[in-house]
Structure formats: C-alpha cells, structure tokens
Amino acid sequence: MKNRRCRLHGGKSTGAKTPQGKAGQRLGNFKHGCYSKETKEEWQMIKQLFQDSKHTIEAVRGGG
C-alpha cells in the first residue's frame, strides 16, 4: 500500500495502542518455535553433548 491506506476499506492503520495489543503483534507470525532463541540454544547444547561423547568414546577406545 503505497499511500498507507487499506485498498479495500480506505482506512488508515494506526497500529496497536494497548500493551495487550502490542504483545499480540509480537506473536502474530509465531507458528512453531523451531527457530526461536531457546530452541537454537537447546540444539547447540545437544550438538556439544554429541561432540563431547564422541571424544570420550575415542579416548576410551584408544584412538586419541
């Protein structure tokens, strides 16, 4: 909308004004959380655990 008006209704969007409305906007496109900060940190910890396990197994076997 180049003129910032709704093409269907002609009204101008003023955006959310209340704290509750603003919180709803932040979650508007949230669908599953696969790429959220918490999930990325969790996957990083799992990756590190696997790497540590691999090194431990190699050390026990005498490979390094």
3-state SS assignment for residue 23: helix
In a domain, 1, yes or no: no
Number of domains in the chain: 1
Q: Which two tokens stand for residue 50?
A: 């696997």
Query: What is the pTM (predicted TM-score) of this model?
Result: 0.50
Per-residue model confidence as pLDDT tens digits over 23-56: 887 777 677 778 888 999 999 999 999 999 999 9
Range of the domain at 52: 35-64
Cα–Cα distances in Å, from 29 out to 24, 25, 32? Answer: 10, 8, 9
Give the C-alpha separation, 19 to 26, whole Å.
Answer: 11
Q: What average pLDDT score do residues 7-30 get?
A: 77
pLDDT over 90 at 17, yes or no:
no
In a domain, 25, yes or no: no
In a domain, 21, yes or no: no
What pLDDT is stored for residue 1 in this prediction? 55
pLDDT over 70 at 63, yes or no:
no
In a domain, 12, yes or no: no
In a domain, 27, yes or no: no
Give the C-alpha separation, 4 to 43, whole Å.
Answer: 41
Sign of the CA dihedral running 40, 44, 45, 47: positive
